[in-house]
Chain A
Amino acid sequence: MESFSPLTASLGGVLIGLAAAVLWLGNGRIAGIAGIFGHLLPPGRAMLWRLIFLTALIAAAWASARLFPQLGAGGVEPSRLAPPPEGWAVPMPVWLVIAGLLTGFGTRIGNGCTSGHGVCGLARLSPRSLVAVLVFFSVAILTVTVTGIV
Chain B
Amino acid sequence: MSLRLPYFATAALSGALFGAGLYVSQMVDPLKVLRFLDFTAIPAGGWDPSLAFVIVPAILVMFVALRIGKTRQAPLFDTSFHEPGQKQIDARLVGGAALFGIGWGMSGICPGPAISLIAFQPDGLWFFLVAMFVGSLAGGLLSPGGSQRRPEEAVA
Contact = CB atoms under 8 A, between A and B. Distances in A.
Interface of B: 1, 6-8, 10-32, 34-35, 37-41, 45-51, 53-66, 68-69, 72, 74-78, 80-82, 84, 86-89, 92-112, 114-120, 122-125, 127-140, 142-143, 147, 150-152, 154-156
Contacts of B23: 12, 60-61, 64-65, 71-73
By secondary structure, the A interface counts as helix
Contacts of B61: 13-14, 17-18, 20-21
Contact of B120 (A65, A113, A123): A65
Contact of B56 (A13, A28, A112, A144): A13
A145 B110 CA distance: 18
Interface of A: 1, 3-6, 8-39, 41, 43-46, 48-50, 52-65, 68, 71-73, 77-82, 92-93, 95-124, 126-129, 131-133, 135-145, 147-150
B6 A26 contact: yes
B68 A140 contact: no
B16 to A, nearest CB: 4
A44 B39 CA distance: 39
A98 B105 CA distance: 12
Nearest to B121: A79
B35 A150 contact: yes
- From A10, A36, A136, A142, name the one whose CB has the most chain B CB atoms within 10 angstroms: A136
A4 B16 contact: no
A72 B55 CA distance: 16
Contact of B57 (A5, A13, A107): A13
B79 to A, nearest CB: 8
Report the 6 A-B pairs with minimum CB-CB distance, sorted nearest first: A110-B96, A12-B25, A143-B105, A17-B61, A104-B135, A139-B101
Contacts of A48: 8
B53 A10 contact: yes
A77 B28 CA distance: 9
B147 to A, nearest CB: 5
Contact of B156 (A82, A97, A112): A112
Contact of B82 (A19, A29, A55, A141): A29
Contacts of A107: 96, 100, 111, 136, 139
Contacts of B140: 38, 108
Given A11-B25, A93-B127, A96-B131, A24 B58 contact: no
Contacts of A1: 45-48
Contacts of A32: 155-156
A79 B45 CA distance: 26
B132 A103 contact: yes
Contacts of B59: 17, 118-119, 122-123
B96 A21 contact: no
23 contacts: A18-B21, A22-B13, A26-B76, A28-B74, A34-B110, A39-B151, A45-B152, A53-B14, A53-B18, A57-B16, A99-B103, A100-B129, A100-B135, A102-B103, A103-B111, A103-B135, A108-B135, A110-B93, A110-B96, A139-B101, A141-B38, A143-B101, A144-B37
